Structure 1
Amino acid sequence: MADPTPVIDDLRAESDELDRTVAELEAERWSLPTPAPGWTVAHQIAHLAWTDRAALLAVTDADAFAHEVEKALAAPDRFVDEGAEEGAGKPPAEILAGWRAGRKALADALRAAPDGARFPWYGPPMSAASMASARLMETWAHGQDIADAIGAVRTPTDRLRHVARIGVRARDYAYGVRGLAPPAEEFRVELIAPSGELWAYGPEGAPQRVTGPALDFCLLVTRRAHRADLAVHATGPDADRWLDLAQAFAGPPGAGREPKGGTP
């Protein structure tokens, strides 16, 4: 089994970076709307805190987490929004303190998990490394929503490799969540990391290919930017179709972002 320590360390770094961003905001700016309809900056951080608590429950008390899954199944269209709404009305300092405490408790639990342990989740069970990767992906994606809301420009890091890997591995899920059959053959994905390193996935000679900057690919698969605004390119009709569907997160794809130029 993969050692989860590096990704847990990267999750901490990603969370700390976002923490510094929101901690510097005046209290009134926590009510700024973000690109997620109906969600303010406060909703974004409250949602991260809520999901960290759910993940901690999955790692430490599978029976109690099963009850949370039942709640989600009973209200699949509302439970995510309700989780964010639950904490968003608190003062910013209280939201931030809760997120800090919850993410530390989750990191400690993941570090202490036995080798090979797998934990229940809203989708397939996850290892400690997979759980940390998923939390990093969501932290980065919601951090982008906040950056867009406050007009900040983030400097990408090679922590994006975790987001990119999930996006590649979730290819078939993106088809399945839309009721479509995925292509039978693997794709080749080649991404240029922020450091300049090449990240490659899939058979080298595959005719269906995707290339581009890792940052743009991660914005695409988290649906934080429209494909028309990104330098991600496809070779082959199946790869081209995938770029219209790709998503790295579980659940419905949502409306996504409109292109900056206004083209449908």
Structure 2
Amino acid sequence: MFADLGAEGAELDQLVGGLTAADWARATPAPGWTIAHQIAHLHWTDRAALLSLTDADAFGALVEEALKAPDSFVDEGAEEGAALAPAELLARWRAGRAALGAALAQASPDVRFPWYGPPMKVASTAGARLMETWAHGQDVADALGVRRVPTARLRHVARIGVRARDYAHAVRGLPSPVGEFRVELTAPDGAGVWAYGPPGAEQRVSGPALDFCLLVTRRAHRADLALTATGPDADRWLDTAQAFAGPAGPGRAPRDAQ
């Protein structure tokens, strides 16, 4: 897990490491966010995760600040970092990634550390950071017109998306479906299937792992993805799925509507 998180960050670093100042100012699909905002947000969240692991009091202070402005603290953090010179922002992000990686490797695997949602063990923290790095990396890639090659690291993103099914309903004020779903995703290399849930479940979702990960991170509209739902609850889930905490936001519009 920790090696996969490091690899995900390194891949995004390759995308942004040689960008010009003009490129850092390119708009991304997230309204109002440039490439600099995307990297600044990742740096801000890496710092929060580091404090969660190493300084619970300092992390508690961050949570108190967030509660004062629940609808704007994420944007404010990104805006602050995006105002830095690109070279400074890049250096801070790199240093923060390294510090977080070291803290994750040293932390007890059995302790639950505080977070903005439920406390998490280090494996879950690393998985969440990988998911967010990949998702915001997709925004950067889209802004640059780059197609990334999907890797087996998407397994971590898919797992979070499956496990967050009930949360995705709750954040929209919807009741959780009854019973487990069967999810079968074709691995990025096409050589296998990642399966979750009981084989005999009536409610089912299937399709490419990449498409499922784009869906649950809300980086693509369902209409543009090759995902199939069997059963009304599974079908509804494909409209509400999200792997991250907080409001879902508007998501991406279908390509035909852009």
Alpha-carbon distance in structure 2 between the residues aligned to 1:40 and 1:74:
25
Equivalent position of 2:167 in the other structure: 173
What aligned pairs does 1:247-258 form with structure 2 within 5 A after superposition?
A: 247-258=242-253
- State the shift of 1:256 in Å: 0.3
- 1:125-183 CA-partner distances (Å, limit 9, x unpaired): 01111000000000000000011111111000000000000000000000000111111
* Distance (whole Å) between structure 1 residues aligned to residue 94 and residue 109 of structure 2: 26
Instruction: Give RMSD over aligned pairs.
Output: 0.8
**Match for residue 93 of structure 2?**
99
The whole-number CA distance in structure 2 between the counterparts of 1:150 and 1:105 is 28
Identical positions, percent? 72
**Secondary structure, aligned partner of 2:257:** coil
| Partners of 2:49 and 2:24 in 1: CA distance | 25
- 1:262 CA drift (Å): 1.5
Distance in structure 2 (CA, Å) of the matches to 1:68 and 1:89 = 20
Scaled by the length of structure 2, the TM-score of the pair is: 0.98
Equivalent position of 1:262 in the other structure: 257
Which residue in the other structure is 1:187 paired with?
181
2:109–2:123: 8 Å Cα contact kept in structure 1?
no
Structure 1 match to 2:80: 86
Segments of structure 1 that go 5 or more residues without pairing to the other structure are: 1-6
Distance 1:198 1:213 in 2: 9
2-side partners of 1:27 and 1:97: how far apart? 14
- State the match for 1:13 in structure 2: 7
CA distance in 2, matches of 1:102, 1:33: 24
Contact 2:47-2:100 within 8 A present in 1 as well: yes
- Counterparts of 1:178 and 1:101 in 2: how far apart (Å)? 36
Q: Number of residues paired by the alignment?
A: 257
Match 1:215 to one of 204, 210, 216: 210
Aligned: 1:31 with 2:22: no
CA contact (8 A) 2:46 2:100 kept: yes
Question: Aligned partners of 1:254, 1:115: CA distance in 2, in Å?
Answer: 33
**Distance (whole Å) between structure 2 residues aligned to residue 15 and residue 200 of structure 1:** 26
Quote the residue 1:231 is aligned against.
226
Residue 240 of structure 2 corresponds to 245
TM-score using structure 1 length: 0.96
Instruction: Write the letter of the residue equivalent to 2:177.
Output: P
Which ranges of 4 or more aligned residues in structure 1 deviate by more than 6 Å? none
Give the deviation of 1:260 after TM superposition.
Answer: 0.3
Counterparts of 2:45 and 2:116, CA distance in 1: 11
